Each structure stands twice: as C-alpha cells, then as structure tokens.
Structure 1
Amino acid sequence: MTRVVVVGSINMDLVTLARRFAGPGETILGERFLTVHGGKGANQAVAAARLGAEVALVGAVGDDAFGSELHAGLAREGISPEHVARIADCGSGTASITVAGGENQIIVVPAANARVTPAQVERAQATLARADAILVQMEIPLDAVEATLRLGHRLGRPVILNPAPAQPLPVEWLQLARYLTPNQHELAILLGADTHADFRSLMLRAPAPVVLTRGGEGAWYRDGDDTVHQPGFKVEVVDTTGAGDTFNAALAVFLHEGLPDAVRKACAAAALSVTRLGAQGGMPTCAELDRWLAQH
C-alpha cells in the first residue's frame, strides 16, 4: 500500500449554490446551503485515502464544534489524525464557497491553519520518513511549507508542492521539491513572471520539474527539454471545487507507477471529481477510477 503524508490545511466548507454569482453590494436568493469538510490539506488526504493509500495528515483544527466534526471525519476516512493538533484558543478554518454555473468563488479564513508550525512538522519526522510521497500546499504558514520541503529532501522522500494559493517562493525552496503542481496562473506567480507568458516556456524555466494543470484540457509535464500533454477527459461538470486537490492526491498515490501513468490517472480522477457536488463528496474511490478508466 502506498504511504502518503499530507501537510496542509483543514477547513469546514460553507457552500451556497446559486443560479449566478452576486455582484458587489447585491443580495440574491440561493438555492441550497450545506456544510462539507474541506481545506486543501484535508481534501488531498481524503482523495488519497479513497484511492487506496495509507494516509497521515499534519495540520490543525480549532477547539470548537467544527474542529470536533473535522477530526472525526478524518478518522472515518481512515486517515491518521496523530499529527492533527487541536488549538485551544482558536477556531477552525473555514471556506465560504459559492457555486454557480459549474464555477466557484471562495473566501478562506485560515484560523487554526495559521498555527501549523515547523516544530509540528519536525515532530512528524518518523511518519514522513516512511512516506512514498509527501504533499504540501500553501494554505498554511510558509515557514511550515519550507520545513516540509527541507525535511522531505533530507529524508530522501519525494515532496510534491502544490503552490496554491500562489505567491513567489525562493528558488532554493522550489529546488527541494520533486514536483511542482501549479496551474498556468500559479506557475507565473511562483516564478515572478508575466501571467500571460507561454506556460510551456515557464515550465522549462522552473527550478524543479513541473506538472501543470489546465482544467478540462488536462495536464502538461516536463520530459527533458520538452513538454508532454496528457489530454483531459470530457465529463458533465457539476462542481469544480476540489478537482485540483484530487489531481494532486492521485499523482502522489500513483507516482510509483511512473510519471506518465500517474498524470493520466490524476487527470481521470480529477475529471470524475467534478461530476459530483462538493470537494470531498466528488472524490472517487480506487475501484471507481479503475472502472472508469477501463471505459475510457
């Protein structure tokens, strides 16, 4: 069984479905409201667990009702909560999400996620040392992201850095990652480049190998001095929330099969995830992915 360790955020998603997005100062009627477990870290952990990996999560929740529910949800998914801290004087992270026309708008309040520390990452060293892949994103403090990159590199474990939300990072940090997994906009920000620059040239300039996602078009990855395109899969889109997290999780789970196969399965898993509502609600199991790939 593949072992995956995720270092990242844990949120309660507050989701509103509407016919369209409200404009500034405008009030409109929504069609449905629900609360679902989310956060990029937790999403990637859940997706990896459903795809058959043994998963541990390093993160933090608040000492509140959301925190208790989120902690219990991770356990139900079979994810080890050993390194999920409960912060006594802080609420849990939230994401307010509006879904309209198959697209989404999101506002994240980090709360307990802002309390993830390098020391907490170091305390998980024994767990990270056993990982076949380590996933980290940027909804936690950057010093914890750096600590994950450095520790994973020191342990000789492949670290996949999903640079979202994007911001420029030191080249030295990026060189510690086995793979960077941005979309086109995130890659430009990460490298401090023009967001309208050709993404293929940016991929070749990056200080670490890039697996770049472009929604329904699929993904591109670097092979020597060239880029390779893995086409996306056509599906009826219901909700794109969590598609990128599903992609990253699948990439980590299947990385041992080689990059081309891992990217293909990651594109397929992401495509499946957008056919259902909710970030974690749409994430497929390994059996579902296998059946779907057999038909496509």
Structure 2
Amino acid sequence: MTGPRATAVAVLGSTNMDLVAFVATAPRRGETVAGREFRTLPGGKGANQAVAAARAGGRVAMIGAVGDDPFAPRLRAALADAGVDTTGLRTVPGASGTAHIVVDDEGGNSIVVVPGANSTVTGLATGDEERIAAADALLTQLELPVEGVLAGVRAARAHGVRTVLTPAPAQPLPPELLALTDLLVPNEHEAAVLTGVAEPLAAARALLALVPEVVITLGAAGSLYAARDAEPVSVPAVPVRAVDSTAAGDTFVGALAVAVGEGRPVPRAMAWAAGAAALAVSRPGASASMPNRAEIDTLFRSAPTPGRAS
C-alpha cells in the first residue's frame, strides 16, 4: 500500500540565524537579567516553514537570500539537512538575517529581527517562477519586502498554485496581496491588526471579505477555520508542556500545507498540524525542534476532534 503523493511546496521567505537567550523571566525595559544559556540556531519564518513542511513529508524548495557572512553556510546546511532544495536561496554581499530572541521559563518569547540579506529580496530571480509553478502551494510571510512577496504570489496565481500567507510581522497589507491570497494564516494578534476586531471568530468573518479561507492560530486555545462556503470550525490544541514556542506557528503552517496538499479537509489538516506544533513547542529551538512525519502521525492518533466554532 502506498502513501499519499508528496506535496510540492515552494517557500518564499526569510532565512535568519536565531540568537537565543534563555532566562527565568524576560527583562522589563531598562532592566538587566541573568541568562542561563545562549544558543545560535537556524531560523527565520520562511526557513522554519520550509523545514517544517519537509519534515512533515513535503517536497520543498526554498526561495530567499542569505549573506556572505559566517552564518550563511550553517543556514544553508540546516535547510539541506532537512531535505529542502536550496537552489533558489541566493547569496548576496553583507550580513545574513538575524533574530534576537529571549525565551522565558514559561516558553514565551520576545523577538527583534534584523533583516540583513532578506531585505534584498524585492523580486524573483532566475528560476524562481519555475520553482513556484512546480509547487502545489506557495508559502509566504512578511519578513521579506512586500514587493518581493507580491512578485511571488503573482507568479503563483498565474500558474494556478495555491497561495498561503502568514501575515507576520503584523502590518497593514496591500489590497493586491490579499486579493492574491487563497489561505490567510494569522495568529490572534495579527488578525486583530488586520481587522480592528479582537474576538477571533468575528475577526475571521471580517477577513472573509478579503480572502476566501482563514485559519487563525490561538496558541494553547487551538485554531479556528473559516471559509466563505462553510461553517466555522474550531480545532483544539494538543496539550503539552511548552519549553520554547518560537517556531510553533511556522511548524503549524508547514505541516498544514503538506496535509492540505495531500487532500485532507482543512479542519482535519489543522488537527494534524496542531500535533506538529505541540511537538515543536515541547523542545528548544526553532527548526531544530520540528518533528518528522512519523512523530506527527503517532501523536495525531490521539488528537482531539475538530468541532463547530461558536
């Protein structure tokens, strides 16, 4: 018996080195605290989603940029080791992107991103459109210049490729970008920024005026799915002790794209992706914490069942 065809995923996004300090309690403004550990870990929302999708069983191509600094070889190697095709990861002069992260004992984090090479991705390079055209889905985020993201989703739409946008960091979006988005995956805060509505279900309904499908991630409260032609559905989170929540959302999106590409209904795909995210937050690091397909499948067998949102 053969399994489902591997979902082909193109990721247009950021690649960063995460500089992570682990502390008991995050410092307040003007305060200095002692950390117990420091790590350098490959990350970036784009690279994280690429690694998550590859480990979940997808066939993944990364499109983006790194610098010519000492971080770049390690960033490339982390993607390649996960099975991601890095042919579309260009090298530019200067520094690679970095994210400066403080993680507290409850698994919460605060992050400062310095774009570096990511800021040069203002359009597609030779071969990028072909990589997008060969995919079932294009995953994008907002750690690249918006004009670069727009170039990617225009190419995806021209070739009939499903577009999935994670609107992070939260910011107002050009109407064209929303018009070219098939599935929007904000967290609760990002949904509120886009709509001015704090309550997630109301925000999801407001977003359906802009995009055909929305998944709002709610952390420990799970996730919410809304579509123009269906009743909203709530999907519970998988209970877990959080160690580091840095890559939870990216793990969820990467696994979700793979599951949807295999033909699973979105709510069922969300439940599978919730298991992937739960495994990721139970371990330290961003891409290093992401589970493989066998781990996700094992946890999914005991996952809570999606239900109607109210």
**Aligning the two structures, in what range does the TM-score lie when normalised by the shorter sequence?**
over 0.9
Q: Name the SS of the counterpart of 2:289 in structure 1.
A: coil
The CA distance in 1 between the partners of 2:192 and 2:27, in whole Å, is: 29
Question: Shift of the alpha carbon at 1:183?
Answer: 1.1
Please list the CA deviations of residues 195-237 of structure 1 after superposition, one character each: whole Å capped at 9, or x if unmatched. x3x2212212221111110001111111436321011111111
The CA distance in 2 between the partners of 1:119 and 1:291, in whole Å, is: 39
1:182 alignment counterpart: 186
Please list the CA deviations of residues 11-47 of structure 1 after superposition, one character each: whole Å capped at 9, or x if unmatched. 0001111111112222221100111000000000011
1:173 alignment counterpart: 177
Residue-pair matches, total:
291
Q: Name the SS of the counterpart of 1:210 in structure 2.
A: strand
1:83 matched to 2:88: yes
2:306 alignment counterpart: none
One-letter amino acid of the counterpart of residue 83, structure 1 = G
1:270 alignment counterpart: 277
2:201 alignment counterpart: 200
Please list the CA deviations of residues 90-128 of structure 1 after superposition, one character each: whole Å capped at 9, or x if unmatched. 1000011111021001111001000112132x7411111
Q: Which runs of 4+ in 1 moved over 6 A?
A: none
1:63 matched to 2:68: yes
1:135 matched to 2:142: no
Q: Name the SS of the counterpart of 1:57 in structure 2.
A: strand
One-letter amino acid of the counterpart of residue 80, structure 2 = A
The CA distance in 1 between the partners of 2:174 and 2:44, in whole Å, is: 24
TM-score (norm 1): 0.95
The CA distance in 2 between the partners of 1:40 and 1:249, in whole Å, is: 10
1:34 alignment counterpart: 39
The CA distance in 2 between the partners of 1:52 and 1:119, in whole Å, is: 26
1:13 matched to 2:14: no
1:164 alignment counterpart: 168
The CA distance in 2 between the partners of 1:294 and 1:248, in whole Å, is: 20
The CA distance in 2 between the partners of 1:273 and 1:174, in whole Å, is: 29
Q: Name the SS of the counterpart of 2:50 in structure 1.
A: helix
Q: Name the SS of the counterpart of 2:288 in structure 1.
A: coil
1:154 alignment counterpart: 158
2:299 alignment counterpart: 292
1:257 matched to 2:261: no
Question: Shift of the alpha carbon at 1:286?
Answer: 0.2
The CA distance in 2 between the partners of 1:227 and 1:218, in whole Å, is: 14
Structure 2 gap segments, 5+ residues each: 1-5, 304-310
The CA distance in 2 between the partners of 1:239 and 1:119, in whole Å, is: 33
1:235 matched to 2:235: no
Q: Name the SS of the counterpart of 2:124 in structure 1.
A: helix
RMSD between aligned alpha carbons?
1.3
The CA distance in 1 between the partners of 2:265 and 2:230, in whole Å, is: 18
What percent of counterpart residues are identical?
44
Q: Name the SS of the counterpart of 1:221 in structure 2.
A: strand
TM-score (norm 2): 0.91
Q: Is the 8 A contact 2:124 2:152 kept in 1?
A: no
One-letter amino acid of the counterpart of residue 202, structure 2 = S
Q: Name the SS of the counterpart of 1:159 in structure 2.
A: strand
Q: Is the 8 A contact 2:272 2:297 kept in 1?
A: no
One-letter amino acid of the counterpart of residue 107, structure 1 = V
Please list the CA deviations of residues 140-169 of structure 1 after superposition, one character each: whole Å capped at 9, or x if unmatched. 000011111211111111010000001111
One-letter amino acid of the counterpart of residue 188, structure 2 = Q
Q: Is the 8 A contact 1:59 1:113 kept in 2?
A: yes
Taking a change above 3 Å as real, the CA distance of residues 189 and 225 of structure 1, as seen in their structure-2 partners, is same
